[in-house]
């Protein structure tokens, strides 16, 4: 396997109101393949997901589905290094991110009940380049995985669900996550 990833974000302006104020703040991160500081080994994404007004989607960061050659595989993140959520609809609802009532993944938000609001035609970009944010839920050594992607796990201290909720209207969003998985943690649906 070969893997590399990157994130590049900048915010700049050219302002002249009698005094010239030009500037740009840029952040860029690049990761090599691995499971250490400044490294990652997995990516997951979905595009053009629709949510009706009031609808909730709880993404389980320890079992994110993806289809490869007609077979469903699951990505089991242990650490998230970067996440980008883009509300691609230009009108409609606001996307609330966070505040899942069961096993919330809340490390970048500060508290389990905190949310970030992403309005139409806007983006949320979070990056923790060096260490990332932990995802728990596989049961720290008590998880058993089978070819069906099912396993026994201890979720008593889980921190694994990313909640997305459409408020005040329907919306369309895309999401991409970069992080670390255990080398043998991707499993198939058995189909």
The predicted-structure confidence for 10-19, as pLDDT tens digits, reads as follows 999 999 888 8
Per-residue model confidence (pLDDT) at position 150: 40
Per-residue model confidence (pLDDT) at position 25: 94
Residue 185 phi, psi (nearest 5): -95, -5
pLDDT single digits (tens) 163-173: 999 999 999 99
Structure tokens at 40: 């990652």
Q: What is the 3-state secondary structure (H, E, C) of the chain?
A: CCCCEEEEEEEEEEEECCCEEEEEEEEEEEEEECCCCCEECEEEEEEEEEECCCCEEEEECCCEEEEECCEEEEECEEEEEEEEEEECCCCCCEEEEECCCCCECCHHHCCCCCEEEECCCEEEEEECCCCCEECECCCCCCCEECCCCCEECCCCCCECEEEEEEECCCEEEEEEEEEEECCCCCEECCC
Structure tokens at 66: 């993806």
Per-residue model confidence (pLDDT) at position 189: 47
The rounded distance, in Å, linking the Cα atoms of 128 and 150 is 30
Per-residue model confidence (pLDDT) at position 23: 92
In the CATH hierarchy, which fold is given to the domain comprising 43-188? Answer: Jelly Rolls (2.60.120)
- Residue numbers of the chain with a pLDDT score lower than 70: 138-157, 183-191
Per-residue model confidence (pLDDT) at position 110: 87
């Amino acid at each position: 396997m070969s893997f590399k990833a990157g994130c590049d974000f900048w915010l700049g302006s050219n302002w002249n109101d009698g005094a010239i104020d030009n500037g740009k703040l840029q952040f860029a991160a690049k990761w090599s393949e691995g499971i250490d500081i400044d490294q990652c080994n997995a990516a997951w994404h979905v595009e053009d997901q629709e949510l009706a007004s009031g609808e909730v989607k709880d993404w389980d960061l320890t079992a994110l589905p993806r289809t490869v050659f007609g077979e469903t595989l699951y990505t089991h993140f242990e650490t998230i290094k970067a996440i980008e959520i883009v509300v691609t609809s230009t009108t409609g609802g606001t996307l609330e991110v966070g505040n899942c009532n069961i096993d919330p993944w809340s490390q970048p938000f500060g508290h389990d009940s905190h949310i970030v609001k992403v309005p139409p035609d806007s983006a949320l970009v979070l990056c923790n380049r060096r260490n990332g944010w932990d995802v728990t839920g596989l049961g720290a050594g008590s998880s058993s995985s089978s070819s069906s992607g099912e396993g026994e796990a201890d979720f008593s201290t889980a921190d694994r669900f990313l909640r997305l909720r459409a408020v005040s209207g329907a919306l369309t969003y895309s999401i991409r996550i970069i992080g670390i998985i255990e080398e043998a943690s991707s499993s198939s649906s058995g189909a």
